[in-house]
Amino acid sequence: MGVVTETLLDELHDAGVIFEDALSDDDLRSVEQQLGFTFGADHRDLLSRVLPVGRGWPDWLAGDDELRELLAAPVDRVVLDVLSDDFWLESWGPARGDETVARAHLATVPVLVPVFGHRFQVSGAASGAPVLSAYGTDVIYYGADLGDYLRREFLIQSRVPPLADGQRIPFWSDLADGAAGPSA
């Protein structure tokens, strides 16, 4: 068993995550062969025990086109940043903003496999690999491993302790709540 325990699956189910029947080994191999990637060890373990479904979860039994779009999204969003936000790495050479050059370089980076929404694991990841949140060039670690990520995303209601009465800090608490802005 990987980093996703039966206890965690029970907690996720109790928290409202919907599970359908797991994918068979043949289903998993078929998806990998059709789409040209390999599930990470923990992702494969999860999907071989349960299939999370609903908004945000990849539909691994959907048509190839939908899944290809999900797999292409991380690179496509980086390319969008190249074209619209002036993102460019010096190692890519002087052709700044050239989509063809950017895509050629991005074709050499590890494939990100969607877990949920814009959270990913690297194709073929060993057990215990991190989960990344990737949206264009905005990439952060979202979990030390798949189990940690699932706990953080679906079970922890707040990543910071709630403030007790009288602990609000003028301005800073507003920023943390998203209430401070141009019109605040």
Domain boundaries, the chain: 6-158
pTM score, whole prediction:
0.82
- Cα–Cα distance between 179 and 184 in angstroms, integer? 7
Task: Give the ranges where the chain is alpha helix by DSSP (H).
Answer: 6-14, 25-35, 41-49, 64-84, 99-106, 146-150, 172-177
The string of pLDDT tens digits covering residues 74-120 is 899 989 988 998 878 787 799 899 999 989 988 888 888 999 999 98
The string of pLDDT tens digits covering residues 150-174 is 998 999 854 543 444 444 433 343 3
Provide the token pair at 1: 């068993």
State the Cα angle at 150 between 37 and 56, rounded to 5°: 65
* Averaged pLDDT of the chain: 83
- Cα–Cα distance between 2 and 48 in angstroms, integer? 11
Fold of domain 6-158: SMI1/KNR4-like (3.40.1580)
Confidence of residue 128 (pLDDT cuts 50, 70, 90): confident
